[in-house]
Structure 1
Amino acid sequence: MSDLRVLVGYSPDDRGDDALALASLVARAAKVPMTVANVHPPAWPSRGPGAVDTEWVAYLREQSAAALRQAEERIAGLKVPGRDVEFRVHAHRGSGRGLIDVARQVEADLIVIGSAPRGRRDRIAIGSTADQLLHGSPVPVMLAPRGYAGSAPGAFERLTVAYWRRRDVEAPLQVAARIATSLGLPVRLVTLVLRPPGLPARFLGADDVVQRQYEQAEKDLAHAAGLLAPHMEVTTEAVQGAGIAKTLGTVDMRPGEVLALMSSHQGPLRKVFLGESSGKILRAAPCPVVVLPRGSVRGRTR
């Protein structure tokens, strides 16, 4: 993935600007081209009078063209060379599925979108576009928190991977490593060790089940770090807490942090599929999140 190709889904609103700011950071860090796409609805499924159909399609295309003109204006202030940006208009009933189509057309390695507008500032909310992508994209999906365009750092600083050891973990871990290499980032592997709800920390002794889970997590993290080293800088951290959101809140996050999540092992092979735990982490994360497909990703989308 050293020749990372970035596709950003753009809409003429705040979430589009957030996605564009994040994708521009990726393109600059990896020194790669970027495709900006706007997906509009298709023509009516049942044909009506020819003039009505023609006018409707023309209107949809003009709206998309206007959105991309706005994106071009935004890009001018994001330090991305214009020659490295391509613009695409695509018709599809689902914006997320439409972006998957465009990703195949341009052979994208990464799809970037913004948060749904109803989300909290500096957090990610899943809307219909994200839902479609997070349950079927063949390439990693990166999401910008709400308001990211107004608070984006000058550069990325680190890629943190939310890690749990399991049978098929090596392939997405290697994808995360390739993304980190493309962006020139060190990798941190973090495991959240959750104690049973309602059990105060003072009742946790050295021999309890949570302590044993913590010790096992440290061993698993060391094993995972060994899979990546000596090719890159890797650190590990096991964190105890009650509940995913509260525990993640105790993890140090740099201004230029990116958090990587692995897809659920119950999802389809070589596709993104957000599981329950990963979904909770995504919603609680205070930084951009990239969700990795399950299984190996060989080359680009087809």
Structure 2
Amino acid sequence: MRYVVGCTEDKRGREAISLALALSRSLAEPTNAELELVHIIPGVPPAEAATRNERVYQEFLQQGAQKWMDRALALVPSSMSARTHIRFAASMAEGLLEAVAVFRANLVVVGAASSGPLRRFTVGSVANALLHSSPVPVALAPSGYLPPREITRITCALGTRAGADSVLEAAVDAAAVRHVPLRLVSLVAMDGEKYRGDRIDAARVHARKTLETAIAGVRNRTIVTADVAQGRSTEAAVEALDWDESEIVLLGSSRLAERSRIFLGSTANKMLRALPVPIVVVPRFYVLVPADAHHGYI
């Protein structure tokens, strides 16, 4: 299992490392995890600079980044495999996606925007770009995230549209390899409409049937429970559920996403505003290639 971790010189970088550590330590074989700590410097490498001033400036940034990356590496226990990389790219998102390809990573991990409220998400430009283009799952740590001793539950928000099977498969795999329970949730949000009682009941019945079908497909790989949350909005439905600080949530991509690419949909965006725990967004119709099948999804 190989994770590319976006390391910035602020608390976002520390929170991204914290989430990568939590995901790694919870694996059945934590020593199988490999962390590629990546810092991106905008622009070209010093050797490719067009002018002497540009070269000197890029060298200055590189030297400063190396000090930060040394501190970042010190956050990783010596029992885990971790390497630092300083790369140059037009943007951080572009550089992280290039690193994903170079290192054949299973997952890219980043922190929320630094202006976000505690334990909530404010998606910055880097995360936003990754959540609309990445070919591998993207894990996002909320502001103020600290790694728990272990991940105790994985929650999968399951929709009914085509492509839902891929996020369910990733959730089952993630729960099974960590030996933790899997909770499937379906949200019934009125979004301001005045639903009659019978329409609400019909929506809940439909959601329950969807979850029962999903449970039947798990085939005893892990313990599975199901919840249906109702609220006047998607955010209210999310807040109606109980949340454990040591769990993570898996979300699928919008039907607008290209095959094997992430595109965060409107419902998932609304959920982000209310979720107090880390999320992992899975590309639409995501399928592991044979060479990586033994590593799992996240």
Query: 1:13 Cα deviation (Å)?
Result: 0.9
Per the alignment, residue 92 of structure 1 pairs with 89
Query: How far did 1:48 drift?
Result: 4.1
Alpha-carbon separation, structure 1, partners of 2:229 and 2:140: 24
TM-score between the two structures when normalised by the length of structure 1? 0.89
Shift of 1:173: 1.6
Q: Does 1:21 align with 2:22?
A: no
Match of 1:154 in 2: 149
| Aligned-partner Cα distance in 1 for 2:243–2:206 | 24
Q: Take 1:146 and 1:53, find their aligned partners in 2: how far apart are those partners?
A: 34
SS in 2 for 1:189: strand
Summarize deviations over 1:138-186 as a string: whole Å, max 9, x none. Answer: 111111110113xx32111111011111222112221222222333322
> Mapping of 1:28-107 within 5 angstroms?
28-30=25-27, 31=30, 32-43=33-44, 48-49=50-51, 51-75=52-76, 80-81=77-78, 84-107=81-104
Between the aligned partners of 1:124 and 1:26, the Cα distance in structure 2 is: 19
1:33/1:85 contact within 8 Å kept:
yes
Which residue type is aligned with residue 189 of structure 1? Answer: L
CA distance in 2, matches of 1:48, 1:296: 41
The letter of the residue matching 2:144 is G
Name the CA distance, whole Å, in 2 between partners of 1:97 and 1:161.
28
| Residue number in structure 2 paired with 1:262 | 252
Secondary structure of the 1:159 match is: strand
Gaps of 5+ in 1: none
Deviation at 1:296, TM superposition (A): 2.6
Is 1:116 matched up with 2:106? no
Q: Give the C-alpha shift of residue 54 in structure 1.
A: 2.2
Q: Is the 2:6–2:108 contact (alpha carbons within 8 Å) kept by the matching residues of 1?
A: yes
Partner of 1:189: 184
Distance in 2 of aligned mates of 1:6 and 1:183: 16
SS in 1 for 2:39: strand
Q: Counterpart in 1 of 2:296?
A: none
Contact 1:43 1:53 in 2 (8 A): no
RMSD: 2.0
- What is the DSSP-based 3-state SS (H/G/I as helix, E as strand, rest coil) of the residue aligned with 1:280? helix
How many Å apart are 1:119 and its aligned residue? 0.8
Q: Distance in 2 between matches of 1:29 and 1:262?
A: 22
1: CA distance, partners of 2:281 / 2:206: 25
Q: What is aligned with 1:290?
A: 280
Give the Å deviation of 1:83.
5.5
Cα displacement (A) at 1:128: 1.0
CA distance in 2, matches of 1:59, 1:188: 48
**2:122 aligns with one of 102, 122, 125:** 125
Partner in structure 2 of residue 178 of structure 1: 173
Q: Are positions 1:164 and 2:154 aligned together?
A: no
Alignment check: 8 A CA contact 1:7 1:110 kept: yes
Offset at residue 258 of structure 1 (A): 0.5
Q: Supply the AA of the counterpart residue of 1:293.
A: P
- Following superposition, the deviation at residue 204 of structure 1 comes to 4.5
Deviation at 1:233, TM superposition (A): 1.4
Q: Distance in 1 between matches of 2:272 and 2:118?
A: 14
Identity of aligned residues (%): 28
Distance in 1 (CA, whole Å) between partners of 2:24 and 2:247 is: 16
The count of aligned residue pairs is: 286
Other structure's SS at 1:117 match: coil
Counterpart CA distance in 1 for 2:135 and 2:191 is 35
Mark the runs of 5 or more structure 2 residues left unpaired by the alignment: 294-298
- Taking structure 2 as the reference length, the TM-score comes to 0.90
Distance 1:196 1:24 in 2: 37
In structure 2, what is the equivalent of residue 5 of structure 1? 2
